[in-house]
Structure 1
């Protein structure tokens, strides 16, 4: 994922220094050609229909997005601390800490360049979740 930003220094400060993503070497030429590759750990891609995205907005208490969005979702050990750190770095709170029906604590902020960042703290393992009703893969769901 590439986040193009006009305020590179602010974005770098937020993602590297506030969110704690370690920086790794990256190639750039000179002048205004700047890039930073940040290690975000293990990544997953969540594909969602617009209906599901609006349901998540509702569950998290966030205003519905207008049109398709890209949102970073970062698993953290302490969602409250992540939100506090982000807000101290001038991130705008979009959705407060919420315990979700899918057993995680979620909160959402708006970071540099307008990107939404959801912090989620898991309250149960994938194995525990898989044993509960409603948690299936798309292929397992009846259509």
Structure 2
């Protein structure tokens, strides 16, 4: 794909039976700024929130299970689509989530891949991981186990 046709934005659409709960979580608890968005009236509601830069992480079933084990969290039920949000301070993000009444699924844990991860029960049955990078990508790239898939032994 050429640079002119590469995506400029990633939007993850979270369909939630409790719209207010979801907006409160993402906008108020996580502090994501909201932009104006078009909707009609009544139950036709939408909120577009900025979450900084976005990446798509494609993971095998085994990798997802390994992350569950590392984070000390049970596997998510339902579709295997997860939300992971990089934060400046995982511990503070978890405290804010707890103060807002959210269930903490797994408390902060330092991972072998040098991040501080924690998992909370987000809206609509989603499990949301907060992660705080503990060293730069350049430094992590020098560690054993960090490769791109095309250079990793299969």
Q: TM-score, length-normalised on structure 2?
A: 0.89
1:31 paired residue among 22, 39, 42: 42
User: 1:76: which partner in 2?
Assistant: 87
- How far the C-alpha of 1:67 sits from its partner, in A, is 5.9
Gaps of 5+ in 1: none
How many residue pairs match? The answer is: 143
Q: What's the TM-score once normalised by structure 1's chain length?
A: 0.96
Q: Any residues of structure 2 matched to 1:44-63 within 5 Å, and which? A: 44-63=55-74
Query: Alignment partner for residue 64 of structure 1, among 72, 75, 80?
Result: 75
Coordinate RMSD, CA, aligned: 1.1
For structure 2, list consecutive stretches of 5 or more residues without a partner in the other structure. Answer: 1-11
- Report the counterpart of residue 142 of structure 2 in structure 1: 131
Distance 1:27 1:17, change over 3 A: same
Aligned twin of 2:123: 112
The answer on whether the counterparts of 2:76 and 2:126 sit within 8 Å (CA) in structure 1 is: no
Counterpart of 2:152 in structure 1 is: 141
Off by >4 Å, runs of 4+ in structure 1:
none
CA positional deviation for 1:65: 3.1
